[in-house]
Amino acid sequence: MRIFITAVALSLALISAATRFPEAPTGLDNKTNGIVDDVTHRADQAKFEGVEQLSDGLGPLYNAQSCAECHQSPVSGGASQVTELRAGHNGPDRRFRTPDIPIAHGAEVVTGRSLVNDRAICPNAEFPDKEIQERVPETETIRTFRLSLNLLGDGFVEAVADQTLIDLSKQQCKSSHGKICGQILYVPIVESPGQMGVGRFGWKDQHASLLSFAGDAYLNEMGITNRLQPNEVTNICNTVPEPNDTTGPDGLSDIDHFARFIRATKAPARDAALASGAAANKGLGLFEKIGCASCHVETLTTAPTGTKINGGTFTIPAALGSITLHPYGDFLMHDVGTGDGILQATREHYGHQVFQQMSGYLSKQDFESSRNKIRTAPLWGVRLRPRLMHDGASLTLVEAITRHSGEAGHVIKQFEKLKRPEQNAIIEFLKSL
């Protein structure tokens, strides 16, 4: 009798969990997760894949001509091998300083950003004497590459409540007896001046909102000024008036289409054959047992439909509300011994306006203490990325794992103590993600 009741109670609990928190749709098929219809999603995708030209305002300094150039594999919105370059140096107080990069034979100095753009639009026919290519000056001794990230499924990540991440960080610290304590970073929501949110996007958790990220990327990767980032990095060789990105007949700018495209993507699908195999399942058990899952968190749930996020500017739609996702990441900052020592520069990521208003909001201390930390890499889709870690310098999964130290040191020791077949099972599991 008791067994019967327990079984009923258990199955009821399972049913109610399942009905309360449906799984995020997964797929690498360019179809919508349901927040818009497929026709709208295809149109947003075309914007995301749009190749910007000089006449659209490309540059003057830039890295690539379209979002999809770096977020493309295996489908638009995925990751890629493209890296970007960041640099800086330590000030006399040992704090990070962004580089001073002279361009146009020293006529102008680019300041306030750690990004060093790899491309420039001039010298060209119109400006044969303007030489503006950036390069790392000898003085900038702190340098790194940062790999392009996967965006598929990020709409679900954006819809996770700030409080869920705060609770996760506390619980992680408690259950590891202080060894693993993910750091929360509050960052400005650029489209909602004065509002802050828990950062979760970018290697340094520099944004909480996908719209904020789209505005940042459009300017810093492509040189396209927009309503959130209206100031060019340099005006030398600049011909198109600001902002380059203007509102279309549907009332939306390109950055709105980019954000909606990302929000409507499905989460990366696993390799179905490997995922159902015995090795991957054994590997998952070991991954949890030795503590990888403390940071590479298997399951998160989004806030309910109708919740207002991003400073009240975005309401979670039904397709993103109360959903279970499996990102294998906690979106928190950790020191795993790989930090590149580069702080996110505030003016660069949040624009001049927010930068000026912000001194009161942004905790300098928090940002300084995150200097050598990196967001836990979400492992969904990792099988599709041949280069690993923020700098792409680890070329095998075992290499990436054994490169962790710091907060992950004790977990990696456990991994190293495992017998070869058990280590292989963890690798098989990772290859199924």
Using CB under 6 A, list all residues that contact ligand HEC. Answer: 63-64, 67, 69-71, 82, 84, 146-149, 151, 154, 180, 201-204, 210, 213-214, 217-218, 221-222, 258, 262, 287, 290-292, 294-296, 334, 336, 338, 374, 376-377, 379, 382, 385, 388-390, 397, 400-401, 404, 407-408, 411-412, 415, 426, 430
Minimum distance between the CB of residue 170 and ligand HEC, rounded to whole angstroms?
15
Q: Which is nearer to ligand HEC, 114 or 301 (CB)?
A: 114
Minimum distance between the CB of residue 259 and ligand HEC, rounded to whole angstroms?
7
Minimum distance between the CB of residue 402 and ligand HEC, rounded to whole angstroms?
9
Minimum distance between the CB of residue 317 and ligand HEC, rounded to whole angstroms?
18
Q: Which is nearer to ligand HEC, 25 or 77 (CB)?
A: 77
Q: Which is nearer to ligand HEC, 1 or 288 (CB)?
A: 288
Minimum distance between the CB of residue 348 and ligand HEC, rounded to whole angstroms?
11
228's CB contacts (< 8 A; 6+ apart) are: 190, 191, 211, 212, 215, 216, 255, 351
Q: Where are the beta strands (DSSP E) in 166-307?
A: 186-188, 196-198, 300-301
Minimum distance between the CB of residue 132 and ligand HEC, rounded to whole angstroms?
18
Q: Which is nearer to ligand HEC, 97 or 349 (CB)?
A: 349
- Going by the DSSP 8-state scheme, the letter that residue 227 receives in this structure is T
Token match 């940062």: residue?
146
> Count of alpha carbons within 13 Å of 248, Cβ hemisphere only?
9
d(CA 79, CA 52): 20
Minimum distance between the CB of residue 98 and ligand HEC, rounded to whole angstroms?
14
d(CA 185, CA 369): 10
Token readout for 311 is 């400073």
Q: Which is nearer to ligand HEC, 130 or 407 (CB)?
A: 407
Contact between 173 and 220 under an 8 Å Cβ cutoff? The reply is: no
Q: Which is nearer to ligand HEC, 247 or 357 (CB)?
A: 247
Q: Which is nearer to ligand HEC, 7 or 208 (CB)?
A: 208
Q: Which is nearer to ligand HEC, 182 or 311 (CB)?
A: 182
Residue 187 to residues 202, 211, 265, 401, Cα–Cα distance (Å): 12, 13, 24, 29
Contact between 84 and 113 under an 8 Å Cβ cutoff? The reply is: no
Return contacts of 124-128, CB within 8 angstroms, 24+ apart. 124/54, 124/237, 126/237, 126/239, 127/236, 127/237
68-83 residues labelled b (16+ CB within 10 A) or e (exposed): bbbbbbebbbbbbebb
Q: How many residues does the chain have?
A: 433
d(CA 158, CA 316): 9
Q: Which is nearer to ligand HEC, 303 or 415 (CB)?
A: 415
Name beta bridge partners: 375. Answer: 333
Minimum distance between the CB of residue 166 and ligand HEC, rounded to whole angstroms?
17
Minimum distance between the CB of residue 412 and ligand HEC, rounded to whole angstroms?
6
